[in-house]
Amino acid sequence: MSGNDTAGLPSEAFFTPGTSSFTDFLAAYRPGLLPTTPTLPDGIRAAPDRFPHGTTVLALTYGDGVLIAGDRRATMGNLIAQRDLEKVHPTDDYTAVAFAGTVGLAVDMVRLFQVELTHFEKIEGIPMTLAGKATRLAAMIRQNLAQAMQGLAVVPLLAGYDLAAAEGEGGRIFALDAAGGLYEKRDFHAEGSGSPYARGALKKLYRPDLTRREAALAALQALYDAADEDSATGGPDLTRRIFPVVCLITEDGFERLSETETEELSREMILRRGERPDGPHAAP
Catalytic residues: 55
CB count, 10 Å around CB of 169?
9
Smallest CA-to-CA distance from 194 within 139, 231, 243, 147 is with 231
Output the CA–CA distances (angstroms, integers) from residue 256 to 24, 135, 187, 227, in the order listed: 31, 25, 20, 22
Amino acid 84 reads D
Burial of 146 (0-12, 13-18, 19+ CB in 10 A): middle
Q: Give CA torsion, residues 199, 202, 204, 205, to 10 deg.
A: 170
Smallest CA-to-CA distance from 75 within 215, 191, 154, 193 is with 193
